[in-house]
Chains A and B, each alone.
Chain A
Amino acid sequence: MAANLTATKPAAVGALLACTLWPAIGFAQDGGAPAVVLTSQQSAEAGSQIKKQATDITAGGPSSSSTFGNLARSIQIETDGDDTTASISLGLDRSHPLGQGRRNSDGSTRFSFATDTLNVTATAPLGKGGKPSLFDFDSLGDGTSLAISFARYVGSVDYFPANDARSLPALQSRLQSRCIDARSIVWVSGEAAGDPSKETLARLVATELRAKIERTKLELGHGPDLALPKLAQSDDPKIKALAAYLLKQCVEVPDDLLPTYGTDEEKAVRPAGGPNGLWFFGGRGKLTRTNYEYLVQAPLAKSDISHTGYKVEGFFGRIFNSGRTSLTGSFAYSRSYRANDEAQLCGPNPVPGQLSCFTGSLGAPVKNSRYTLAGEMRWLLPLGSAEDAPNIGLAPRVSYEFKSNAALFELPIYFAPNEDKALNGGLRFAYDTGKDDFAFGLFVGVPFSVFTN
């Protein structure tokens, strides 16, 4: 079990859960009052602090369900205006084979692997004040909460042995070899600097190094991974310099080997039996204790009561082999309490001729059970055919609640990248058939991901 402890300054303003990100900038149509009323200063602070908090939120869509248990593993104290929230999150993960490998007819062995993650998060508000969401479809409130989530991702690998040309080790050796040839020419050119005699010497060094690599391979079975580190310790300064250069270019930075040195055929197939998509399933549960203040009429007074709400949810889905699309289905049951509409009540005051007035929810909160079936797609869409073309992310989600016969349609569109060029902001549209209400708002700080949380 690992518990990474980090703490943000209490002065840091930000949203801890994705649901609190939504209302940062947003308004509702339908002629109603704004869903969130923030002063311009609060809006500016929220915007900057939400960006700051982006790294504390595990990737996921900003839909109503993704506000569930998606915290990083940490201890945090965060504030948002007058509100302060503290959270503790612990996680377990394990990546392991499922059963024995199965021999395929092409000579490879299929191994299935699962990565399991279990997260437990406790959150408590340290300040006072409530804040409405754009749509609070879960209606769980924002009191002290305990959330637990489990997810399993399953994929398989067709493993070819290293002496097979189709294997990942063989592919990597070929790519490294091509890299060494290409980079040696660059090195020779740099060493020569237009001087033919220096070029001849540099070519000899490159040829000698190549011969040493080949000899090591024949004698010991060592590829560039093992040969170059040893040659980089050579007594010959030229061999040492070239080996160190090639080690850095062709072994220690291996991410661009396939794009740069792979053939079209090698690039076209997922590398050497790698996984073709993933299946996933899991569950989430959340328990929330919330204090509700409300008005009673006879006698006119303010009162309060605490209720425990909870939600349990199961989900399953598929990440397709492009790595850019996923589909998720889920079913959730929740029991929550909803505060009544606000009203102002006035009654006689002990001082003759004066009235005492109170503003608040009229009557005790009402218990509400919900059965929600939902489907969600996440799709990373390139805007152009070039490899470095920008992307937009779409995460349409449809939720249907059986008891109230209401549906919620949500469409977050991600188009704003962060400093690392990852999409983490955009526009979100939502329509609630139960309220016959349409809303849209801007969001920032919720990274796009095809993975569920």
Chain B
Amino acid sequence: MSLSYGGQIMVSIEVKITGSRKWLAGIIEDHHGGVNPLDFQQDVARIGVAAGGPAWLSLYFWGNPGDEIKAEISKGDLSLAKRSYKIDPDGSAARAIQFDPDA
């Protein structure tokens, strides 16, 4: 789904995080350098991302070491990226995913 915002074509994407963690933060940066923090409600955040170039999703976690987390970025029914992570031995984890909202 695409929509226009301030002259930009925006693509609506969904970020889903599943698995055990105590604290989660997500930030999306589009190819224009626009930075937006994510609001996850029950594992899912929805946000508009500028079309026309790749974007970055940065994820930060705190949890119990070794706990598994899955992250998926999707656009409608299309999965743009899927990753599996484990919380690092110090109880935190920071990971980034580059994805193409135009895919």
Listed in ascending order, the chain A residues whose CB lies under 8 Å from chain B are: 1-2, 59, 92-97, 101, 109, 111, 113, 115, 153, 155, 157, 159, 161-163, 167-169, 171-172, 220-223, 225-226, 252-255, 270-272, 274-275, 278, 319, 322-324, 387, 420-422, 447, 449-451
Listed in ascending order, the chain B residues whose CB lies under 8 Å from chain A are: 21-27, 29, 31, 33, 35, 37-43, 53-54, 56, 58, 60, 62-66, 81, 83-86, 88-100
With both beta carbons as reference points, the residue of chain B lying nearest to A275 in the complex is identified as B60
Contacts of B92 in A (CB 8 A): 270, 274-275, 323
Known: A172-B95, A422-B66. A221 touches B56 (CB 8 A): no
Query: Do B23 and A275 touch (CB < 8 A)?
Result: yes
User: Nearest chain A CB to B37's CB is how many angstroms away?
Assistant: 4
Query: Do B98 and A169 touch (CB < 8 A)?
Result: yes
> Of B40, B56, B85, B90, which is within 8 A of A169 by CB?
B56
Query: Do B62 and A162 touch (CB < 8 A)?
Result: no
Known: A162-B29, A226-B54. A275 touches B37 (CB 8 A): no
Query: Do A155 and B25 touch (CB < 8 A)?
Result: yes
Given contacts A153-B23, A167-B58, A324-B91, 5 further A-B contacts (CB under 8 A): A109-B35, A111-B27, A115-B22, A153-B62, A422-B65
Contacts of B66 in A (CB 8 A): 420-422
Residue from B31, B35, B92 having most chain A Cβ neighbours under 10 A: B92
Query: Do A225 and B99 touch (CB < 8 A)?
Result: yes
A93 to B24, CA, bound (A): 11
Query: Do A254 and B99 touch (CB < 8 A)?
Result: no
> Of B25, B37, B38, B86, which is within 8 A of A255 by CB?
B86
Query: Do B53 and A221 touch (CB < 8 A)?
Result: yes
> Of A1, A171, A254, A271, which is within 8 A of B42 by CB?
A1
User: Nearest chain A CB to B95's CB is how many angstroms away?
Assistant: 6
Query: Do A254 and B95 touch (CB < 8 A)?
Result: yes
Contacts of A163 in B (CB 8 A): 33
Contacts of A226 in B (CB 8 A): 54, 98-100
With both beta carbons as reference points, the residue of chain B lying nearest to A387 in the complex is identified as B89
Query: Do B40 and A254 touch (CB < 8 A)?
Result: no
**9 pairs of A and B residues whose beta carbons are closest in the complex:** A323-B91, A97-B37, A323-B90, A225-B98, A113-B25, A271-B94, A95-B24, A274-B94, A95-B40
A97 to B47, CA, bound (A): 14
> Of A96, A168, A323, which is within 8 A of B96 by CB?
A168
A169 to B94, CA, bound (A): 10
Contacts of A255 in B (CB 8 A): 85-86, 88, 93
Query: Do A223 and B98 touch (CB < 8 A)?
Result: yes
Contacts of A275 in B (CB 8 A): 23, 25, 60, 62, 92
> Of A168, A220, A422, which is within 8 A of B54 by CB?
A220
Known: A94-B40, A169-B98, A323-B92. A254 touches B83 (CB 8 A): yes
